[in-house]
C-alpha cells in the first residue's frame, strides 16, 4: 500500500510515478462512483488572493527594520512562489522611505480605512483577502491595541473594516504582542483569525511573525508536499519553530499563538479540523488564477480549468475531514485517486498557459 505522504510527494514531483503506482492495484468502479457522489462539493469558484500588509510602530530601528523585512519577504514569496501579482498586494508601513516603490503609504488609521475601501472595490465576490500585521501591541484597561502612527488600531476598529468585505473569505494574522483579543472580536464565518499571543497579557515582543513568514518564503512548512503552503501549515510550522527557538535558548515561552476558523471566537493551539479549528485554514492558500507573477487575462477555457481544480481540492478537503470514519487503506486509495486527478488537472492548466 502506498502511503498518503508518499502519494502526495509523487504528486509534487512526478505524476508518472503516481499513475504507475495506481495502475498496479485493482480498483472498484462502484467505490469510485460512490466517492464522486459522496464528496461532491457545493459549487466552487476559482479565486484570487489579495494581500494587505500593515507594519506598525517599531519603537526602535531594529524592530522597524525587522517588521519591514518580514512583510517584504512575505510579499516576495507571494509573488515569486505563488503567482500573486504585485498589483494585488497593498503595503502600508511606518516609514515609506524604507521602500518607496513597495510601501504605498504610512500605516495610519485613515490610510488603513482607505486601503480596505480600495481592496473591497477590486475584489470579485469569490476573491479572498489575507491581512498580515507586523508590529507591537499593547493591552490597557481591557482593550488590545495594535500600535500604528497616530491613533492605534483596536479589535473593534478592525471588525468594522472587515464588515465592509461582506462574506468574502478573509485570513487575518496579527503577529504582534497582546494580539489575542483580536481573535474573539473578528471571529466569524469564512474567517481564519490568527494571533501571536493567547491573551492581551502576553506583552513581550513575539517571534511568531518571523516564522510564519518563513513558512511561505522557505520550503520546510509544506507538510503534505503539494508544492504550496496552507494557512494551517504555516500556523503549525510557526508554532513549532517558536517553541524550538525558546527551548534552544533555554527561555520560558512567553507567546502562545492561537487560531480560530470555525467562528466560535475561541482560538486553539491543538487543532482538530473534524470537530474544532483547522478545517478552513487547511483550504486557504496564496493563489492567483493568472500565470506566475503576472496578471494577464484569463481565457474562458483556463478559467473553467481553474474552477475544476478548485472543485477537486474541495473534494480532497472533504475526504480529509472524514478520514477517521474509514479504514486507512480505503482513505489512502481514495486520496490517491483524487491526487492523481488533481495532478492531471494541473498539467492541463499549464498546457493552457496557466500556473498549475
Report the C-alpha gap between 222 and 230 in whole angstroms. 8
Contact 115, 156 (CB under 8 A): no
Distance of CA 329 to the CA centre of its chain: 30
CA distance 138 to 151: 13
Q: Which residue has the cell 513575539?
A: 206
C-alpha to C-alpha distance for 276 and 264, rounded to whole angstroms: 9
Cα 203 to Cα 26, 149, 198: the distances in Å are 58, 19, 10
Instruction: Quote the cell numbers at residue 172.
Output: 487575518
pLDDT tens, position by position, 252-264: 999 999 999 999 9
For the beta carbon of residue 294, count every other beta carbon within 10 angstroms. Answer: 13
Instruction: Give the CA count within 13 Å in the CB-facing half-sphere of 177.
Output: 16
How confident is the model at residue 24, as a pLDDT?
41
Measured distance CA(354)–CA(356) in Å, rounded: 6
Could you please report the per-residue DSSP string of 207-222? SHHHHHHHHHHSSTT-
Hey, what's the cell of 89? 498586494
pLDDT 10s digit of each residue in the chain, 356 long?
Answer: 344 444 444 344 434 434 334 444 444 333 333 333 333 333 345 679 999 999 999 999 999 999 999 999 999 999 999 999 999 999 999 999 999 999 999 999 999 999 999 999 999 998 999 999 999 999 999 999 999 999 999 999 999 999 999 999 999 999 999 999 999 999 999 999 999 999 999 999 999 999 999 999 998 898 877 778 999 999 999 999 999 999 999 999 999 999 999 999 999 998 876 668 998 999 899 988 754 434 445 678 877 887 888 888 788 878 877 888 999 999 999 999 999 998 898 888 878 876 54
Total residue count of the chain as it appears in this document: 356
Q: What is the pLDDT of residue 355?
A: 57
DSSP reduced 3-state for 326: coil
DSSP class per residue in 73-121: HHHHHHHHTT---GGGEEEEES-GGG-TTT--EE--HHHHHHHHHHHHH
The reported pTM is 0.78
Cα separation of 113 and 221, whole Å?
A: 33
Amino acid at each position: 500500500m502506498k502511503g498518503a505522504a508518499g502519494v502526495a510527494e509523487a504528486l509534487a514531483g512526478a505524476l508518472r510515478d503516481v499513475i504507475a503506482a495506481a495502475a498496479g492495484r485493482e480498483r472498484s468502479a462502484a467505490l469510485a462512483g460512490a466517492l464522486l457522489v459522496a464528496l461532491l462539493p457545493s459549487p466552487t469558484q476559482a479565486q484570487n488572493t489579495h494581500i494587505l500588509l500593515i507594519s506598525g510602530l517599531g519603537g526602535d530601528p531594529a524592530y522597524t527594520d525587522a517588521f519591514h523585512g518580514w512583510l517584504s519577504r512575505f510579499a516576495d514569496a507571494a509573488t515569486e512562489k505563488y503567482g500573486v501579482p504585485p498589483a494585488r498586494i497593498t503595503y502600508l508601513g511606518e516609514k515609506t522611505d524604507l521602500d518607496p516603490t513597495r510601501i504605498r503609504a504610512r500605516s495610519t488609521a485613515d490610510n488603513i480605512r482607505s486601503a480596505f475601501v480600495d481592496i473591497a472595490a477590486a475584489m470579485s465576490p469569490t476573491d479572498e483577502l489575507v491581512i498580515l500585521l507586523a508590529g507591537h501591541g499593547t493591552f490597557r484597561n481591557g482593550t488590545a491595541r495594535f500600535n500604528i502612527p497616530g491613533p492605534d488600531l483596536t479589535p473593534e476598529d478592525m471588525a468594522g473594516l472587515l464588515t465592509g468585505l461582506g462574506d468574502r473569505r478573509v485570513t487575518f494574522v496579527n503577529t504582534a504582542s497582546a494580539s489575542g483579543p483580536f481573535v474573539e472580536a473578528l471571529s466569524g464565518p469564512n474567517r481564519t483569525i490568527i494571533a501571536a499571543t493567547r491573551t492581551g497579557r502576553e506583552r513581550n515582543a513575539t517571534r511568531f511573525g518571523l516564522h510564519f513568514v518563513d513558512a511561505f518564503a522557505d520550503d520546510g512548512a509544506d507538510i503534505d508536499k503539494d508544492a504550496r503552503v496552507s494557512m494551517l501549515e504555516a500556523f503549525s510550522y510557526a508554532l513549532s519553530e517558536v517553541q524550538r527557538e525558546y527551548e534552544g535558548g533555554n527561555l520560558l515561552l512567553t507567546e502562545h499563538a492561537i487560531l480560530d476558523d470555525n467562528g466560535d471566537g475561541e482560538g486553539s493551539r491543538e487543532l482538530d479540523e473534524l470537530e474544532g479549528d483547522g478545517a478552513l485554514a487547511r483550504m486557504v492558500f496564496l493563489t492567483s488564477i493568472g500565470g506566475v507573477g503576472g496578471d494577464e487575462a484569463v481565457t474562458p477555457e483556463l478559467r473553467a480549468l481553474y474552477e475544476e481544480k478548485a472543485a477537486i481540492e474541495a473534494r480532497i478537503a472533504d475526504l480529509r475531514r472524514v478520514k477517521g470514519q474509514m479504514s486507512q487503506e480505503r482513505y489512502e486509495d481514495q486520496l490517491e485517486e483524487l491526487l492523481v486527478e488533481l495532478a492531471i488537472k494541473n498539467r492541463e492548466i499549464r498546457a493552457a498557459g496557466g500556473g498549475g
